[in-house]
Structure 1
Amino acid sequence: MIGKRLKSARAASGLSLRALSNAMGHKVSAQAIGKYERNEDMPGSSVLIALARALAVSVDFLLSDDELELEGVEFRKLASSSAKEEAMIEAKALSCVEKYLAIESLLNLSSQDWDEPQGAPYWVNDPRDAEDAARNLRDAWLLGKDPIPMLSELLEEHGIKVFSLDVDRVDGLAAKVRRKGKHSARVIMIKKHTWSERKRFSLAHELGHIVLKVAPGCNSERAANRFAGAFLVPAEVLRQEIGTKRTDISLGELVSLKDRFGVSIQALTYRCKDLEIISQATFGRLFDIYRERGWRDAPFKEPNSLEWDVEEPGRFRRLCFRALSEGHIGLSRASELLEIPVRRLEEQLDYVT
């Protein structure tokens, strides 16, 4: 029965029952599609193909009996994000994870499971405990104190499935993906078209949701933010760079630190406040300047901003290219997995070779 798969694909597309019927050229009614989703009826082959085409998924996806479910979903979002938008993102995330797991399975890769670091999850009773958690994770992953050049690649090396979506009011999502008879996968979604320094903070924030165990009564978002700052900008290194106490700090110095650590000027300012390097008064004065210059409003462009594709996850794309080259999949299947036209895929393959 295809009910659950069909409903998930429709949610990911953002289509209503009526809109899906329209997209299919009224091949069947909205009421008929509702019956398919409730498993009260089964579409014929021609309708099944039309459904798959309208939803940009394969017929195999709709017919698959694999059971994948998102658990423990954590969003980094604006207050204006809607329940419908969040449901669409969750469904899209599940679809992306399934494709990712399928291509790993085709290639017989052993890196499908989340490589949980020693000591995790790290218990947090107060957001300040996230400092120790970030330090412990860096030690577990042998990262030292140096800035992390490509965070998305690092996370994927440790078994987290990372992908980006073209969304508006959600910067990130972290979740477990429960798989029948297998270990749960871990997934992080980030907003595609935003500055890469913001992507990096979102990645670290969502990583915090994965590795932290936040005590009741402790604000999990504040804990994840503190973890992200500590993971990207270790306290010892920042204090060595700018000192332990400052009465003032110039924008030029903050831009230089941004270039070094790959995080926004605003995140660095929060980091200085959290570590009590600057006072609350200095913090407030700096943020007044950021508001005046428009850095607090979309598109959040600061000096020396990193373009969106600098921190774009690439492992899934590479695996699709590999599977295609090794004959596990054809051009049409690779095009479907990567969600790009065949002609564009052929151009990319020609460029790579």
Structure 2
Amino acid sequence: MNELAINLMRLRKLNSLTQQDLADAAGISRVAYRNLEKGNANPRQGTLQALATALKVPAFDLLAPLPKLKSLRYRANKEMTEQERAKGNQVVVRAGNWLQDFNELESMLGTGKRAALPNIRKGTNPQNAAEKLRTALLGDGAKCDCVPDICELLENSGIKIFLFDFQMSELFGLSIGEADGGPAMAINTSQKISVERQIFSIAHELGHLILHKESYGKSPDELSDEQEREADTFAAAFLMPEKKFLAEWNENRGLHWVDAVLKTKRHFKVSYQAVLHQLVDLGKAESPAIYKQFRADYETRYGQKLHWKEEPPLNPAPRPRTAGVSPAPPPSRTEEPLHLDPLDLMEDRLGSLVRDALDKALITVSRAAEILDVGIEEMRARLNSWEIVS
């Protein structure tokens, strides 16, 4: 099957279109379209453009070869619909193209970085592996409680990070091994996924890169639940080392327990559910009762329902005072709000590479826009903004 046939099938499913729907939109018969999708015919230029318009992509995307990743690792939900699987495939295509662009820029500029990751013995306890990695990446900074800027930390260590909206909430992230120019990871920044969860996803994929090197290149259906649990444990230990977590939790022991959870979550830049999970792992709370209890007590305290997938909203207002009950103090508006902001999670290495390549006239403005996945006008606006401060 040729590239056109593969791309047509992938993009048609991504848009939930039948063969007849797409044939009608392109002004051709279903038989003619079916021959294109089977690779038995080639379209005229006008038909190719009509198909691209119907699929909302440039005509080039219909003919572009798909990236061939030998060391991809991502876990697909077995209950995904056909369209959700098509979206997952599209995420893989976009991540593969991004990684090719990233490596091409590094090669042009001679700025490639070899990943500074320690060699962790297979079978190492996830908590011990996380502690070794914190020490290796942070050095003296390993003594600090929280990871100050996880994107900057990993990018400086040679790990490439791609943050973008997957247009789906069933997949939080994926990672790619060194065989394809990694290590690299793509993280879902959908508005339905909190920044806290995105940070945890980065640490989770980092756990796979450290603990499960043998799993890269395997089919999503071959990956075990046990590895996912190990990656979660690694992520929690990397973001919230046990001793530091207990020290912070004990400092908050005089607060209402809901506020102690919220303060702890903000301190470590994690979700409230990650804090609850850590409390369960350390034997300080029962699971799954603790999750239900937190949501119930949060609603009682702040008068707002909290969906199990959501982070507490910005500066929740506690309920008014009632007889015999003291109201909880509202969070200070002079402090950081409870919810992390997208600015708390930004990668900037690719943008820096693009700027350097433009400064050296190694790429055109249109190519820069293509690499950064922005429109040409937005790219020009960014160029103008760079002139404001030298």
Q: TM-score range by the shorter chain?
A: 0.7 to 0.9
Q: 1:83 to 1:212 in 2, by over 3 A?
A: farther
- Which ranges of structure 2 fall in alignment gaps of 5 or more residues? 216-222, 315-337
Contact in 2 for aligned 1:3/1:37 (Cα 8 Å): yes
Between the aligned partners of 2:381 and 2:68, the Cα distance in structure 1 is 35
Aligned mate of 1:323, from 348, 357, 367: 357
- Which ranges of structure 1 fall in alignment gaps of 5 or more residues? none
SS of corresponding position for 1:170: coil
Between the aligned partners of 1:31 and 1:155, the Cα distance in structure 2 is 50
Contact in 2 for aligned 1:174/1:206 (Cα 8 Å): yes
Contact in 1 for aligned 2:8/2:62 (Cα 8 Å): no
**1:130, distance to aligned residue in structure 2 (A):** 1.9
Between the aligned partners of 2:375 and 2:181, the Cα distance in structure 1 is 33
- What is the match of residue 331 of structure 2? none
Alignment pair present for 1:300 and 2:311: yes
More strand by share: 1
- Give the 5 Å matches for 1:1-353: 1-3=2-4, 6-7=7-8, 10=11, 13-16=14-17, 17-21=19-23, 25-29=25-29, 31-52=31-52, 54-57=55-58, 59=60, 62-64=63-65, 67-68=68-69, 71-75=72-76, 81-108=80-107, 115=115, 117-120=117-120, 122-123=122-123, 129-143=125-139, 144-146=142-144, 147-157=146-156, 158-176=158-176, 186-193=184-191, 194-213=193-212, 219-243=226-250, 250-278=257-285, 283=290, 285-290=293-298, 293-297=304-308, 299-303=310-314, 304-353=338-387
Bigger-Rg structure (1/2): 2
Q: Which amino acid aligns with 1:95?
A: R
Between the aligned partners of 1:323 and 1:29, the Cα distance in structure 2 is 46
Deviates most, 55-64 or 160-169: 55-64
Between the aligned partners of 1:270 and 1:242, the Cα distance in structure 2 is 13
SS of corresponding position for 1:169: coil
Q: Which amino acid aligns with 1:35?
A: N
Q: 1:338 to 1:244 in 2, by over 3 A?
A: closer
Between the aligned partners of 1:198 and 1:12, the Cα distance in structure 2 is 28
Q: 1:172 to 1:111 in 2, by over 3 A?
A: farther
User: How big is each residue's C-alpha offset from its partner over 1:68-117, in whole Å with a ceiling of 9 and x where there is no partner?
Assistant: 46733225x7x975342133123233223313322431441567687272
Q: 1:8 to 1:118 in 2, by over 3 A?
A: farther
Contact in 2 for aligned 1:162/1:188 (Cα 8 Å): yes
Contact in 1 for aligned 2:95/2:186 (Cα 8 Å): no
Contact in 1 for aligned 2:174/2:185 (Cα 8 Å): yes
Deviates most, 85-94 or 318-327: 318-327
Between the aligned partners of 1:261 and 1:21, the Cα distance in structure 2 is 52
Relative contact order (alpha carbons < 8 A, sep ≥ 6): 1 or 2 greater?
Answer: 1
SS of corresponding position for 1:163: strand
**1:172, distance to aligned residue in structure 2 (A):** 0.9
SS of corresponding position for 1:74: coil
**1:263, distance to aligned residue in structure 2 (A):** 0.9
User: How big is each residue's C-alpha offset from its partner over 1:124-174, in whole Å with a ceiling of 9 and x where there is no partner?
Assistant: 6xxxx3212211222332351431122233333332342221434225122
**1:200, distance to aligned residue in structure 2 (A):** 0.8
Between the aligned partners of 1:210 and 1:30, the Cα distance in structure 2 is 45
Between the aligned partners of 1:330 and 1:156, the Cα distance in structure 2 is 25
Contact in 2 for aligned 1:196/1:309 (Cα 8 Å): no
Q: Which amino acid aligns with 1:301?
A: P
SS of corresponding position for 2:164: strand
Q: 1:111 to 1:117 in 2, by over 3 A?
A: farther
**1:301, distance to aligned residue in structure 2 (A):** 3.3
Contact in 2 for aligned 1:204/1:228 (Cα 8 Å): yes
**1:235, distance to aligned residue in structure 2 (A):** 0.8
Name the Cα RMSD after superposition: 3.9
SS of corresponding position for 2:72: strand
Q: TM-score, normalised by structure 1?
A: 0.78
Between the aligned partners of 1:240 and 1:97, the Cα distance in structure 2 is 42
SS of corresponding position for 2:283: coil
Q: 1:185 to 1:133 in 2, by over 3 A?
A: closer
**1:49, distance to aligned residue in structure 2 (A):** 4.7
- What is the match of residue 332 of structure 2? none
**1:305, distance to aligned residue in structure 2 (A):** 0.4
Between the aligned partners of 1:297 and 1:176, the Cα distance in structure 2 is 30
Deviates most, 292-301 or 99-108: 292-301
Q: Which amino acid aligns with 1:206?
A: E
Q: TM-score, normalised by structure 2?
A: 0.71
Percent pairwise identity: 21
Between the aligned partners of 2:150 and 2:116, the Cα distance in structure 1 is 16
Between the aligned partners of 1:320 and 1:259, the Cα distance in structure 2 is 33
